[in-house]
Amino acid sequence: SSELTQDPAVSVALGQTVRITCQGDSLRSYYASWYQQKPGQAPVLVIYGKNNRPSGIPDRFSGSSSGNTASLTITGAQAEDEADYYCNSRDSSGKGVFGGGTKLTVL
Amino acid sequence: EVQLVESGGGLVKPGGSLRLSCAASGFTFSSYSMNWVRQAPGKGLEWVSSISSSSSYIYYADSVKGRFTISRDNAKNSLYLQMNSLRAEDTAVYYCARDAYDLYAFDIWGQGTMVTVSS
């Protein structure tokens, strides 16, 4: 089965730029999606496809991909961006897979 | 309003069964693939199962294959997860989620329903 690997924790100073990465062989063939989850809440989709933001997601969130690595970039991080971030995709058999999640701290 | 509402969670003994339901409203349910995703207490998200819009394609995580069955009733705008032979490690919040673009991009999530497997 395919796996997606994320750094467990990342920190960023308020107003600075942070990149959260997701690695996995399946990302060479399929796009990653990114989710933000705050305590006690359901996840929220923030990036999907090549670099698409659902309605209502601030444009400081962007996505990119190179080889087996997908990245979520937050340009000008805000206090409200402090959350857990998850990537997900699919594998070649059609099954879904999530990364282990990255806890983002905004200092 | 586009909405997903899960129900059916609760406390069950190891080896027991439970059936989760997810009621969809505010969108054309029959046009979308749907998924179940779970989250154990204090842990990350785990994809559980997916079903295509017409039920033609169904997939399961290895951890639940042979024990869980996903199904849907497009006439009732409902998604289901039949869970049998439950184990302690199945304890989690179970979310249903809509795949808006068939990209495993889940744009709408329910509030989740808690399943606790314990003796």
DSSP string, B19-77: EEEEEEESS-GGGSEEEEEEE-TTS-EEEEEEE-TTS--EEE-TTTTTTEEEEEEGGGT
Chain B residues with CB under 8 Å of A31 CB are: 103, 105
Phi, psi at residue B77, to the nearest 5°?
A: 50, 45
Q: What is the pLDDT of residue B101?
A: 85
Work out the average pLDDT over B29-41. 98
Work out the average pLDDT over B87-103. 95
Mutating which of B1, B6, B51, B104 best tests the A interface, going by the most A Cβ atoms within 10 A? Answer: B104
What's the distance, Cα to Cα, between the start and end of chain B in Å? Answer: 39
Sole residue written with tokens 């970039």: A73
A34 interfaces chain B, CB cutoff of 8 Å: no
Work out the average pLDDT over B85-93. 98
Mutating which of A93, A95, A102 best tests the B interface, going by the most B Cβ atoms within 10 A? Answer: A95
Note whether A82 and A104 are within 8 A (CB). Answer: yes
- Smallest CA–CA separation between A81 and chain B, in Å? 18
In tens, the pLDDT along A44-87 reads 999 999 999 999 999 999 999 999 999 999 999 999 999 999 99
Q: What is the pLDDT of residue B22?
A: 98
